[in-house]
Amino acid sequence: MDEFLQLGDVSIRVTRKDVKNVHLSVHPPKGHVTLVAPRNTRLEVARAFAITKLDWIRRQQTDMREQAREAPRRYVTRETHLLWGRHHLLVVEETQGRTGVQLDHKRIVLRVRPGSDEGKRAEIMHAWHRSLLHVAIPRLIQKWEPKLGVSVNAYYLQRMKTKWGSCNPAAGNIRLNTELVKKPRDLLEYVIVHEMTHLLEPTHNDRFVGILDLHSPGWREARADLNGLPLAAEIWRE
């Protein structure tokens, strides 16, 4: 059962797992805090560790709360949409034929049924985003499998509220946030490498960092770039 530490205005959920070291994380979008500790760690020890990180926690929370968000999209003509880190002008065309999306130089052409509502237009756009990711991701996985010496059994796409990706080392699977289609391609690659590294080391310990340093020495800059980009306009619920 999880426990909670209260340090002034900071609440920290404490979970004990089969890990060797204590791991403290601040999660978007609102900055809730979790601490994962070895199973035999006393709550007083976890508290003492968290106290030493209190200033860092508050800085992370402030950065997340002040991070820019995309304006809500209505999927209408002349609206701008992000794709691979670049802004594109949206053109909406009503048709009795096949619906879908096409990239035309700097324009995204969205073909919809006459009278389609915002929800249906968003659905068509999201399906297109997924198709683009299904083209990009396998190539990157194949690139990095021999470099890292791992094999990805399967990958999944999902709308995620608090993560860019996740990994199930036991199953050999990785899961990626569909919002990554809006970010520069090199940041998609960073997230894939990060999650694939978890197939070698499930936690964010020194070994994990060492593997990333060896194979992807620019990962810290990529992480900072990704976390500095606008969040989705969606209202996040925890």
Q: Is residue 90 domain-shared with residue 38, that is, in the same domain? A: no
Q: Is residue 48 domain-shared with residue 125, that is, in the same domain? A: no
- Of 29 and 115, the structure prediction assigns the larger pLDDT to 115
Q: Is residue 104 domain-shared with residue 200, that is, in the same domain? A: yes
Q: Decide if 162 is inside a domain.
A: yes
Read off φ and ψ for residue 57, nearest 5 degrees: -60, -45
Look at phi and psi of residue 227 and say left if phi exceeds 0, alpha if psi is from -120 to 50, else beta. Answer: alpha
Q: Among 36, 66, 96, where does a domain finish?
A: 66
Rounded Cα distance, 128 and 98, in Å: 13
Q: Is residue 26 domain-shared with residue 49, that is, in the same domain? A: yes
Digit-coded pLDDT (tens) for 182-237: 999 999 999 999 999 999 999 888 899 999 999 999 999 998 888 777 655 443 33
In the prediction, which pLDDT does 229 show? 72
Q: Is residue 43 domain-shared with residue 96, that is, in the same domain? A: no
Q: Is residue 60 domain-shared with residue 122, that is, in the same domain? A: no
State the distance between the two ends of the chain, measured CA to CA, in whole angstroms: 19
In the prediction, which pLDDT does 232 show? 58
Rounded Cα distance, 46 and 22, in Å: 8
Digit-coded pLDDT (tens) for 51-85: 999 999 998 888 777 665 667 789 999 999 999 99
pTM over 0.75: no
In the prediction, which pLDDT does 237 show? 30
Using alpha carbons only, what angle is made at residue 140 by residues 139 and 145, rounded to the nearest 5 degrees?
105
Domains held by the chain: number: 2
Q: What is the largest CA-CA distance in the chain?
A: 66
Digit-coded pLDDT (tens) for 84-99: 999 999 999 999 999 9
CB within 8 Å of 29: residues ≥ 6 apart: 64, 67, 161, 162, 231, 236
Rounded Cα distance, 113 and 33, in Å: 45
Q: Is residue 52 domain-shared with residue 147, that is, in the same domain? A: no
Digit-coded pLDDT (tens) for 13-60: 999 988 888 888 888 667 889 999 999 999 999 999 999 999 999 988
Q: Which amino acid belongs to residue 48?
A: A
Rounded Cα distance, 123 and 101, in Å: 11
Rounded Cα distance, 181 and 118, in Å: 20
In the prediction, which pLDDT does 65 show? 72
What is the SS3 assignment for 132?
helix
- Of 2 and 154, the structure prediction assigns the larger pLDDT to 154
Rounded Cα distance, 78 and 150, in Å: 44
Q: Could you list the residue range(s) of the whole structural domain that residue 107 is in?
A: 80-228
The tokens describing 63, both together, are 């950065």
Q: Is residue 222 domain-shared with residue 155, that is, in the same domain? A: yes
Q: Is residue 93 domain-shared with residue 152, that is, in the same domain? A: yes
Cα dist from 27 to 95, 129, 151, 231, whole Å:
43, 25, 28, 13
Q: Decide if 75 is inside a domain.
A: no
Q: Which amino acid belongs to residue 201?
A: E
Q: Which of 90, 94, 88 is nearest to 74 (CA)?
A: 90
